[in-house]
Amino acid sequence: MAKCLRCGKPATIFLEGLRFCNDCFKIHVEKEFQSAIEGHAIGTRLINGEEQVMVALSGGKDSMVLWYLLRKFNFNVVPVHLNLNYGVFSEKSLEVIQKFSEKIGDKVLVYNIKDDFGIDMLEVFNRAKKRPRCGVCGIIKRYLLNKIALNLQVDVIATGHNLDDGAATTFKAILNWDFDTLSRNYPIVSSYKDKLVKKIKPLYRLSDKEIKMYADLVGIEYTSEACPYRIGKVTLSKTKDILDEISEDYKGIKRTFYYGYLRNKDIFQKDEAELKECKICGMPTASEDGVCSFCKLTKGLSDG
Ligand code: SF4
Ligand code: ZN
């Protein structure tokens, strides 16, 4: 019988050439999380113990595990959920978040995109028909989460992006020679002029599979409900499928690829141009016409 590489007991979990018993697998995941916080492969610590961290919860496995791990390692966590009003998908998200919050005794701050910010996402999607919905949704979510973080005066926003997300985003950016994405697809993005809050991705060393197995072992509930608006041409999930297929023959290639990119990030570094202030909302924007994408999408100024 195959033995756990850490303790020699019978192995129950087999991953990318590694084998663990259940207990040692949990230790492995927690060590990778701690290494991420310490900034291994990027040379910069993501957060220190004093910083207040807003964790953006979607109810999926990644953000739920992130919430759990940040608490487990005693970070000062502010859990936040932005309800997008996407029908059953949003209802299920809210349900698992509220259930877990009761279980661990953490209060979650829930915002509703329509009630709190007056935004109807269906109207926004209709207005920006030519653009991929996930791209549109991403702009709105990033803007509002930053706004919430500024109001709450937290130091950092933590999101559940994992190793598969990092590798797939980098891979897709290279296929398109998208240097903008390649210049900023890092696990840490600094704050900007008191207007953009620092952002971190503490799960960047953990794969989809590792996070799912950890959630199941520890008993963290999450929603797997598919978003009704995830429709597009070459989505990130398609790119993930391609990388998964390559990984069948090249074990660990996602990790090698993404860490290699992180180690060589200076190649893609750009001289940051001074951002303008949006003529409408005053937030930083790189847009030529001086109106940020959020304002264009929500105020119907163009198709975004
Ligand atoms: Fe938004 Fe796309 Fe995520 Fe749905 S799948 S919540 S549209 S980013
Ligand atoms: Zn604006």
Q: How far is the CA of 163 from the centre of ligand 2 (A)?
A: 31
- Give the Cα-Cα-Cα angle 22, 221, 72 (nearest 5 degrees): 65
Q: Where are the beta strands (DSSP E) in 159-208?
A: 188-189, 198-200
Domains of the chain from N-terminus onward: 48-272 (3.40.50.620), 277-304 (no CATH)
Q: Per the annotation, does 24 bind a ligand?
A: yes
What are the phi and psi torsion angles at 284 (to 5°)?
A: -65, 140
Q: How far is the CA of 174 from the centre of ligand 2 (A)?
A: 29
Q: Which residues surround ligand 1 with Cβ inside 6 Å? A: 133-134, 137-138, 227, 229-230
Q: What is the pLDDT along the chain (304 residues), one digit of tens a residue?
A: 899 999 999 999 998 778 999 999 999 999 999 999 998 878 889 999 899 999 999 999 999 999 999 999 999 999 999 999 999 999 999 999 999 999 999 999 999 999 999 999 999 999 888 888 888 999 999 999 999 999 999 999 999 999 999 999 999 999 999 998 998 899 999 888 899 999 999 999 999 999 999 999 999 999 999 888 876 554 677 888 899 999 888 888 999 999 999 999 888 887 767 889 999 999 999 888 999 999 999 987 655 4
Ligand 2 ion: Cβ-proximal residues, 5 Å cutoff: 278, 280-281, 292, 295
Tokens 């860490």 belong to residue: 259
Q: Per the annotation, does 227 bind a ligand?
A: no
Q: How far is CA 163 from the centre of its chain?
A: 10
Separation CA 15–CA 40 (nearest Å): 21
DSSP class per residue in 10-41: BP-EEETTEEE-HHHHHHHHHHHHHHHHHTTT
Separation CA 284–CA 137 (nearest Å): 19
- Which pair of structure tokens corresponds to residue 210? 């590792």
Q: Give me the amino acid identity at 17.
A: G
Q: Per the annotation, does 295 bind a ligand?
A: yes
Q: By the 8 A CB rule, do 16 and 204 touch?
A: no
Q: Per the annotation, does 137 bind a ligand?
A: no
Which residues on neighbouring strands pair with residue 285, listed in sequence order? 276
Separation CA 136–CA 293 (nearest Å): 9
ipTM: 0.98
Q: How far is the CA of 183 from the centre of ligand 2 (A)?
A: 23
The number of the ligand nearest the C-alpha atom of 137 reads: 1
First to last CA, the chain: 58
Entry pTM: 0.93
Separation CA 256–CA 259 (nearest Å): 5
